[in-house]
A and B are shown apart, each in its own frame.
Chain A
């Protein structure tokens, strides 16, 4: 990837964060921390990695993205809107009665959503089913599932970890958005599943760890897939919760944000400045 493309991806990730602010503004509150931490990953997937077409969202051989941590829904909506799956005005309806962008994504409401998620511990299993069926159908499609690190405490994930390895699902790539925080505190203090890579490797996964907010590293890692033939792929993306709004970054309280006008203005200003800075590089 050349410098210009990399720069564009960084700007897109910031535009996506602006889209998240737009949704929070409409609703008055939302899961800012989780959405911001994973948006470099999600942006890289939609704008560099995955074979998807917003004009033909049901394209047969498309890659699939699945948001196991459904409460990060705003991150996916932000990227889908930026990619052109739907009009950005829809972002202004976030949380409203019968809106197409509920707090947790719904495959029947919006193009580009592949499955419903929202109950943690289902997503990795859904992804296994999709990867298994796509391979059985002789499709080249890959399945990308984004999980939270706190979510790993749901036991059903470990059933799925075994299933993916047993069925050698190398068309499956799981990214753990390892921001180290969950609602009640630091994941290492609440319920630690560290070392995550060792646990998955023990089941037979090909694993790697990256800085999930470093676009260059994110892109380079995705470009290497599959990490190992015949093994499911795990990328533990160490990132910062609320990355992009410094006063909330890595704060326990940033999981859900209900800003006043001044706080919102500060967040908007920070993103605008960040975009200018990237463009000036």
Chain B
């Protein structure tokens, strides 16, 4: 079955893909419910409400309740997909996600929209640059960041069909399609999007995978062959693919729409150290600073997250090889 689309096709917004996927799984499973905290409009929630008015529950602006009420619904057999912005889904809901959802082994799917810098014009209050860092230490939680609409469809279906707590990051925009319509994914398996030998760019999400592919083009123009990997699930992380990339390309750059502390970069570094295969590595992502207002391309420049920044980091790590 074909995994990569290999066509220059624009993607739909990933939140729209999420909403369509949720309606599709709700048609299959009558226990799937959409639990919201007043910001459903941002992810096309009214479409679900129109289709399943009884299974659409808006709790108002109270994210702690969003998590615990969903856990309670799960405890009597429902499959709640609870959504809010990533800033609230991680920082505000942390204790509830931990105790009521994960520790209690409930079946709650936490959907976090507008992660990282993608809340652009809303400014620093709304930039979730630490959400993965807050969620990742929680035991038995699956963290996914689908990089395009095909990956999002699979992610939602997989989350609905498998018991457990999921944290799904959903960016509000779409860049380019990466995967084939019927692509099959695996939890804990990264996908090599572009082959290369000199360095591996390990990326997460739509925005930064797109930036990494552009960086690979820039590097190719200079005769550097960069492999590009979509990590897909940040937890569990694909240890085998990371080790293989380290051994075969000898240098790694991680690329994430998140703080370089505690997210993908940290997770990859942990693998390299634990597996005794540390190679030159750099982390691209939000540096140690608060978010600020701006359009996404401007913020990418300010935070050193552009394709040019990625390409420069790649050359640095290649230069660091023994």
Task: Please encode chain A, from 96 to 133, with 1 for each CB lying within 8 Å of some chain B CB and 0 for all others.
Answer: 00000000001110000011101101100111111111
How far, in angstroms, from A134 to B71 measured CA to CA in the complex? 13
In this assembly, does B57 line the interface, its C-beta being within 8 Å of a C-beta of chain A?
A: yes
Chain B residues near A155 (CB-CB < 8 A): 64
Q: Which of A133, A134, A136, A156 has the most CB of B within 10 A?
A: A133
Q: Kindly list chain A residues whose C-beta atoms are within 8 Å of the C-beta of B220.
A: none
Known contacts A107-B104, A108-B105, A136-B54: does B62 contact A159 (CB below 8 Å)?
yes
Count of chain A residues near B, Cβ 8 A = 32
In the complex, what's the smallest C-beta–C-beta distance from B286 to chain A, in angstroms? 29
Shortest A119–chain B CB gap in Å is 4
Contacts of A156 in B (CB 8 A): 62, 64-65, 68, 96
- Contact B72 A133, beta carbon cutoff 8 Å: yes
B100 adjacent to A132 (CB under 8 Å)? no
B62 x A126 contact (CB < 8 A): no
- What number of A-B contacts does a CB cutoff of 8 Å give? 105
Which residues does chain B contribute within 8 Å of A107, judged by CB atoms?
A: 75, 104-105
| Docked pose: A122 CA to B62 CA in angstroms | 12
Report yes or no: A128 in contact with B65, Cβ–Cβ below 8 A: yes
Chain B residues whose C-beta falls within 8 Å of the C-beta of A275 in the assembled complex = none
Most chain B CB inside 10 Å of its own CB: which residue of A64, A134, A136: A136
A129 touches B104 (CB 8 A): no
Report yes or no: A126 in contact with B105, Cβ–Cβ below 8 A.
no
- Per-residue 0/1 for B258-302: is the Cβ within 8 Å of any A Cβ (1 yes, 0 no)? 000000000000000000000000000000000000000000000
Min C-beta distance of A62 to chain B, whole Å: 10
Which residues between 89 and 134 of chain B lie within 8 Å of chain A, taking CB atoms?
95-96, 99-100, 103-105
Q: Is the CB of B96 within 8 A of A122?
A: yes
Q: Using A116-B104, A118-B99, A122-B96 as known contacts, say yes or no to A129 and B60 having CB atoms under 8 A apart.
A: no
Once bound together, how far apart are the Cα atoms of A129 and B74, in whole Å? 8
Q: Are B95 and A119 in contact (CB under 8 A)?
A: yes
A151 to chain B minimum Cβ distance, whole angstroms, is 14
Whether the pair B62, A163 counts as a contact (CB closer than 8 A) is yes
- A229–B77 Cα distance when bound, in Å, is 25
Task: Report if A121-B76 is in contact (Cβ < 8 Å); known contacts: A115-B104, A126-B100.
Answer: no
User: Which chain A residues border B312 with CB–CB below 8 Å?
Assistant: none
A240 close to B (CB within 8 Å): no
A185 to B88 Cα, complex, angstroms:
33
B77 touches A129 (CB 8 A): no
User: Inside 8 A of B71's CB, which chain A residues have their CB?
Assistant: 115, 122, 125-126, 129
For B59, the chain A residues whose CB sits under 8 A away are: 159, 163
A137 close to chain B: CB less than 8 A: yes
Interface centre among B72, B75, B76, B95 (most CB of A within 10 A): B72
Given contacts A116-B100, A122-B68, A163-B69, contact A133 B76 (CB under 8 A): yes
Residue B73 lies at the interface, judged by CB distance under 8 Å to chain A: yes
Q: How far is the CB of B83 from chain A (nearest CB, A)?
A: 15
Q: Which one of A121, A125, A163 has the greatest number of beta carbons of chain B within 10 Å?
A: A125
Q: Does A153 contact B (CB under 8 A)?
A: no
How far apart sit A156 and B60, CA to CA, in the bound complex (Å)? 13
Write the nearest CB–CB distance from B75 to chain A, whole angstroms: 5
- Is A162 interfacial (CB-CB < 8 Å)? yes
Chain B residues positioned under 8 Å from A64 (CB to CB): 76
Asked whether B70 is an interface residue with its Cβ less than 8 Å from the other chain, the reply is yes
Q: How far is the CA of A160 from the CA of B62 in the complex (A)?
A: 9
Query: Which partner residue on chain A sits nearest B35 by CB separation?
Result: A129
User: Is the beta-carbon distance between A125 and B64 smaller than 8 angstroms?
Assistant: yes
Q: How far is the CB of B165 from chain A (nearest CB, A)?
A: 13
Residues of A near B54 (CB, < 8 A) are: 136
Chain A's closest residue to B75 (CB) is A115
In chain B between 170 and 210, which residues have their CB closer than 8 angstroms to a CB of chain A?
none
**Chain A nearest CB, measured from B219 CB (Å):** 48
Find the B residue at minimum CB distance from A115: B75
Considering the complex, give the chain B residue whose CB is closest to the CB of A158.
B62
Known: A116-B99, A119-B95, A122-B96. A130 touches B62 (CB 8 A): no
Not counting A125-B71, A126-B69, A128-B69, a sample of 12 additional A-B residue pairs whose C-beta atoms are within 8 angstroms of each other reads: A114-B75, A116-B100, A122-B95, A126-B75, A128-B65, A129-B72, A130-B75, A133-B33, A159-B62, A160-B68, A163-B60, A163-B65
Seen from chain B, the residues whose Cβ lies within 8 Å of a Cβ on chain A are 33, 54-55, 57, 59-60, 62, 64-65, 67-78, 80, 95-96, 99-100, 103-105
5 A-B pairs closest in CB distance: A129-B72, A125-B68, A116-B104, A159-B62, A126-B72
Chain A residues proximal to chain B, CB less than 8 Å: 64, 106-108, 114-116, 118-119, 121-122, 125-134, 136-137, 139, 155-156, 159-160, 162-163, 166-167
A-B contact pairs, 17 of them (CB 8 A): A125-B96, A126-B69, A126-B71, A128-B69, A129-B69, A129-B72, A129-B80, A131-B72, A132-B72, A136-B78, A139-B76, A155-B64, A156-B65, A159-B59, A159-B64, A163-B60, A166-B60
